[in-house]
Structure 1
Amino acid sequence: MKKLENEKELVRKAIAIGTSYAEKRGAAKFEASDSSNEKMEFIYRLLVKDKLIQPMPELQVSQQTIRHRLALWAQSLEKKTDT
């Protein structure tokens, strides 16, 4: 898994977009005290459930792989808005 150049920024963007998506969809209400790891896992699982991203084999699911997958998702959203 090759680390993206601006992965930290993309992860922050993915969390912001993902929390907004989950709240608008009525799937979750995030609190300020929720950790970013909890948010990332919830967003990942919601996006997989809604078939917006490909699921990983359950043995590969970890905070690092979720972080990378959400960064890729945010990057793909950026590319869609650039065109």
Structure 2
Amino acid sequence: MEKKNDIVSSLTGSVKTKKHITTKIEYFCNDSEDAERVFEKVTEVLSDNIDDFAKITFDYNAGENKVDVEVIEHV
């Protein structure tokens, strides 16, 4: 996984207790092939880091050609 930005790192490191970090990413796709590439990447990241996630969702809106990915990570 990539290093968290400084703000998130300072907040997560300040109190030693169980935490989850939620990240939402909106992909504005040109076509369904873009959405498929996003799905493949989500699948790859999930497969390689399965123990790091509490939840990951993938929602494709074909009418808007938009993909919403929400990730909840264990910290």
TM-score band, normalised by shorter chain: 0.3 to 0.5
TM-score of the superposed pair, with normalisation by structure 1? 0.31
TM-score of the superposed pair, with normalisation by structure 2? 0.33
Could you say which structure has the higher strand fraction? 2
Could you say which structure has the higher helix fraction? 1
